[in-house]
Structure 1
Amino acid sequence: MERLHHHKVLTTVTWLLSIIISIYYTFEKPHDGVWPRRKIWHQNDKFHTAFRLNSIIASIYWIVLFVLQGGYIAHLFSGTVEHVNAACSVGSHFIVNNLFHFAFVMLFVRSYFGWAELFIILNFFNLSSLYFRHPGYARFIHTPVVSGPLAWTFIAIYWNGAIMVPHPDTLVARIFGNIFIWSILVYGLFFIVVYKDYTMGFNLSVLSAAIGVSQFLRQVVAFQWIFAFVIMAVLFVATLVVAVPAATGRDIKFARARAGDTERAPLLGEN
């Protein structure tokens, strides 16, 4: 019981820390450090990279994600033992995700982009490990703790990485951006086809839209926003192909967790 209590406290505290630091640096810039200090979205707008995001869409994504994570945390305090055990089974990864996100924001707003990239990559491995070890968590766990943060982290690797590169607005940088953006489509289709995970497809389609809108508003005559919207459309359609049958109970069905196996409350049906 004492271990469970500590787990609840750490999960809740790190989640609140992640929210507070994100909100604070959305509206305030840091007042310490030697490098240029800017608010989160001022950093985004300062650098005209091929992966610059639309702040409104990205902010909505994070607001929804934080709300869903609040629902996940509520299950830690549930009176149903199965829900508590299932929520606890991913708790260590979720705590690490929150701490890495905190470190990333603190470094990003202070223009330590190299160190920020390191924490993004470490978090990518943390969340990927969680996903591939147990890809079938229940929806109340999978979306806010696994697929939502993982989709963002994948995009953030390019977002922050493009800022980190010297002269990110050169022709060469734009060409590489035109190439690497297609990895979003490959990554998303991998989860849709292999795991029938429509949540990853939807999350990546939203973030692709954030890239597309930002690139379009910056330069109408350009390939990047066209590519981003094509990727968004393909992922969204592929998401519907999987999600609609699942929602209607046809073809893909959600399975129930096996008794005694609290770590596998499946999101996706077993073939």
Structure 2
Amino acid sequence: MERIHHINPFAKRDTHTKNTIIAWYLLTIITWLLSIVVSVYYTFHSPHDGVWPHRKIWHQNYAYQTAFRMNHIIASIYWIVLFVFQGVYIAHLFSGNVNRVNEACAVGSHFILNNLFHFAFVMLFVRSLFGWAELFIILNFINLTSLYFRHPGYARFIHYPVVSGPLAWTFVAIYWNGAIMVPHPASLVARIFGNIFIWSILVYGLFYIVIYKDYTMGLSLSVLSAAIGVSQFLRQVIAFQWIFAFIIMAILFVATILVAVPTGRNARVASARDADTERAPLLGEN
């Protein structure tokens, strides 16, 4: 069992060897760049292979009149911000602070797997292989959910770009791609199911906000709900889906603010308390 734990890349460790850290350097950067390159390339280019209809990422999005179609501008901004923060996370692998390096390495295996799953999803999605694409989304959802519950307390510079940001997208993408995958995605039945299942975004977001006080998850899902709401509104003004999406966005955003503001205040109080504790021995010596 000890040997299995030693070779298991997903095992929890407090410290990492030099060789392990170097491996994380290389694999993290390579897979992250792979994820970025394939996302950017297929945003502007269509694949030229395969027998199925192949389109750019957002052309696929607009080709199907589903209840979870997103606004490409908001969704693209979401991903640009996420990629930038992921770059900040990777920079901490090169930090001189040993604790930061160990924390960054601790989630490295899941982050690498997330990048590979995202790469596979994009390659399949643009080639209209939606069933296989859904499989990789679900596998990534399992990967990121496992990561969340195993490492819920890391600093935000790790938590958002590696855990909550990708997890929020993956949860919504299950419906986004799944709605395209089902037969007759623009039918009345599909729209009714869309009107029902969109509320799971609210339930999912409130779970993390209430239980874990995770405002990054709340904000991420709020932005993605806005992307759905704007797209549905532009598609059809008289419809329930965009109304539901904006209600969900508003509730999640307000809940996020209610959690985030006290969290910041508590952090300042804790910092002041720690400063007083550090000064106490000095005061006692006088």
Fold-level similarity (TM above 0.5): yes
Task: Give the number of the structure whose residues are more often helix, by fraction.
Answer: 2
Q: CA separation in 2, counterparts of 1:157 and 1:252?
A: 40
* SS of equivalent residue, structure 1 residue 249: helix
Matched residue, 2:40: 23
Q: CA separation in 1, counterparts of 2:152 and 2:21?
A: 24
Identity of aligned residues (%): 78
1:220, distance to aligned residue in structure 2 (A) = 0.0
The one of 27, 44, 56 aligned to 1:10? 27
* SS of equivalent residue, structure 1 residue 48: coil
Matched residue, 1:74: 91
Give per-residue Cα distances to partners, 1:71-116, cap 9 Å, x unaligned: 0000001111111101000000000000000000000000000000
Give per-residue Cα distances to partners, 1:132-152, cap 9 Å, x unaligned: 112111111000000000000
Pair 1:241-2:267 in alignment: no
Q: CA separation in 2, counterparts of 1:36 and 1:60?
A: 26
1:7, distance to aligned residue in structure 2 (A) = 1.3
Structure 1 residues 250 and 134 mapped into 2: Cα distance closer, same or farther (>3 Å)?
A: closer
Matched residue, 2:53: 36
**TM-score normalized by structure 1?**
0.92
Structure 1 residues 250 and 74 mapped into 2: Cα distance closer, same or farther (>3 Å)?
A: closer
Pair 1:127-2:144 in alignment: yes
Letter in 2 for 1:201: G
List alignment gaps of at least 5 residues for structure 1.
255-271
Matched residue, 2:178: 161
Alignment of 1:184-223 (within 5 A): 184-223=201-240
List alignment gaps of at least 5 residues for structure 2.
1-17, 272-286
The one of 116, 124, 148 aligned to 1:107? 124
* SS of equivalent residue, structure 2 residue 96: coil
The one of 49, 53, 74 aligned to 1:57? 74
Matched residue, 1:179: 196
Pair 1:228-2:275 in alignment: no
1:3, distance to aligned residue in structure 2 (A) = 2.2
Give per-residue Cα distances to partners, 1:234-271, cap 9 Å, x unaligned: 000000000011122379969xxxxxxxxxxxxxxxxx
Kept in 2, the 8 Å contact 1:202–1:236? The answer is yes
The one of 92, 101, 104 aligned to 1:87? 104
Letter in 1 for 2:115: N
1:37, distance to aligned residue in structure 2 (A) = 0.5
Structure 1 residues 173 and 86 mapped into 2: Cα distance closer, same or farther (>3 Å)?
A: same
**Greater C-alpha Rg:** 2
1:2, distance to aligned residue in structure 2 (A) = 2.0
Q: CA separation in 1, counterparts of 2:72 and 2:131?
A: 22
Q: CA separation in 2, counterparts of 1:16 and 1:156?
A: 21
What's the C-alpha RMSD, in Å, of the aligned pairs? Answer: 1.3
Letter in 2 for 1:230: I
Give per-residue Cα distances to partners, 1:40-62, cap 9 Å, x unaligned: 00000000000000000000000
- Which stretches of structure 1, 4 residues or longer, exceed 3 Å deviation after superposition? 250-254
Letter in 1 for 2:117: F
